Amino acid sequence: MVASGNPPDPVLPLVARVAAFLDAALPDGVPLWVGFSGGRDSVVLLDLVISLLPGRVCALHVQHGLSPNADAWADFCAAFCRAREISFALEKVKVARDSGEGLEAAARRARYQAFLESGADWLALAHHQRDQVETLLFNLCRGAGVAGAAAMPEARRMGAMTLLRPLLKTSAADLAAYARARALSWMEDESNADERHARNFLRHRVLPGLAARFPAVETTLARAAGHFGEAQTLLRERADEDDRALAGNLPSLLSLSLPRQANWLRYRLHRQGWRVPDAVTLDEVLRQLVRAISQADSRFEFGFAEGRLHLWQGRLYATPHPAPPEMAARPWDTRTPCLWSGRSLRLEPCHGAGLDAALLAGKPLTLRPRQGGEKLQLHPRGPRRTLKNLLREAGIPPWERPCLPLLYHEETLIACPGIGIAANWQCPPDQPGFRIAWDQASGDQEAGDRRQETKTPSPPPSS
């Protein structure tokens, strides 16, 4: 529960509204970080939550370095927090000016990345009703769909963090009244007057004109954003139902209407954590995917900024771009994990399974990439079979096969993660062994996560 104070009468409605929001959204006792720019809105929010959550508030200031006054803002924020005896953190970021997405978008991306890396679990931002309306108009001008028209939610997950916007239903006039009543001071961002920035143009040119003709425009457009948010929730629920129905049977996608196909594809990309492309690109992805499914063609592949989509054996895989491969042949000291193709490779102690611990002790092992022609005998009475056939039978996607680490003793292939261990190196029942652990997660959401648990191994010494 949040604590109640005795604020001046003009601000009681705002205090009550924020208190009710935090009571509903924030778990009892957890600390709340506040994104603190030093501007009026964030000063009001921080002042509010300090009174409502005594001893539980921390402030986070992200310095973009874009203004000559950046140091002055940081100093103001630090002094504000010292005077109120709350924790203050300063994060400096570099904004990519040549990213092609525009300075506003690049600064926002850098700011939110700093939020994610701050270690905060709960972070409150000072976006208010006018910010919501500006976001709605900005997204509509860019041709956004329902998700963009929904603008900003009051609460959402971002990685391991939960973002809260307690002021999202509060007007700018109410914030100004609170600031006056509390005699608060703040820093003015000189860039807010620069109409070269799209949001400033909307704020200074478009919204005043709309308000002159429609006095309640901010309230009504904010309400519209809420309606779009409800519609987006329904679309995601529909896509989730379709996704579960399609699991293991992607050809049934062809029976859905085009809007449902597109809705499902947007849902899959969003769940993967990838940015959904513009409508033209999304239509092209969907066209190629539907054609590949209808022709039973498993060669579909489409590249995105974050990775690639693959169609294979009737399933859709989203695979991130691989890290720089560490796949040169080299000795492996099995007492410590090593990096192979961007993934941690290690031995984990087990019993009655994996590599024979007694046989492994003291023997030098080597890691090698695939070259072709490798063979492995998995069963004592079985033949030595080509690794190529074993990989195909095990259902290892083609794009993962070149990345597999092959474990050798001298010139003998003794193991391949995801495939198995040579028969004469397998651990006997009731004897200590070592399981080979390698993160093989391919991004496949339908087949399930094949990621193995990561434990601290205690392998035998290698010479």
> Taking 60 as the threshold, does the pLDDT of residue 410 lie above it?
yes
* b (16+ CB within 10 A) / e for 16-51: ebbbebbeebbeeeeebbbbbbbbbbbbbbbbbbbb
Residue 88 to residue 65: CA distance in whole angstroms: 18
């859905």: which residue's tokens? 256
């009892």: which residue's tokens? 28
Full set of structural domains in the chain with CATH: 9-220 (3.40.50.620), 247-320 (no CATH), 330-438 (no CATH)
* b (16+ CB within 10 A) / e for 295-331: eeeeebebebeebbbbbbeebbbbbbeeeeeebeeee
For residue 320, name the pLDDT band (cuts at 50, 70, 90).
Answer: confident
Contacts (Cβ under 8 Å, ≥6 apart) of 102: 198
Mean pLDDT, the chain, whole residue set: 87
> Taking 60 as the threshold, does the pLDDT of residue 462 lie above it?
no
**pLDDT of 443:** 39
**pLDDT of 161:** 94
Model confidence pLDDT, tens digit, residues 298-307 = 678 899 888 8
**pLDDT of 192:** 80
Contacts (Cβ under 8 Å, ≥6 apart) of 214: 220
**pLDDT of 450:** 33
How do 385-386 and 412-416 pair as beta strands?
Answer: unpaired
């890396």: which residue's tokens? 117
0.75 exceeded by the pTM?
A: no
For residue 138, name the pLDDT band (cuts at 50, 70, 90).
Answer: very high
**Cα dihedral 135/136/138/143 (nearest 10):** 140
**pLDDT of 315:** 83
Contacts (Cβ under 8 Å, ≥6 apart) of 305: 274, 275
Roughly what angle, to the nearest 10 degrees, separates helices 40-52 and 172-181? 60
**pLDDT of 449:** 35
Closest CA to 267 of 250, 242, 293: 242
Least confident of 95-104, 239-248, 438-447, 450-459: 450-459
Model confidence pLDDT, tens digit, residues 208-245 = 999 999 999 999 999 999 999 999 999 999 999 999 99
Residues facing residue 92 across a β-bridge: 63
Least confident of 2-6, 8-12, 27-31: 2-6
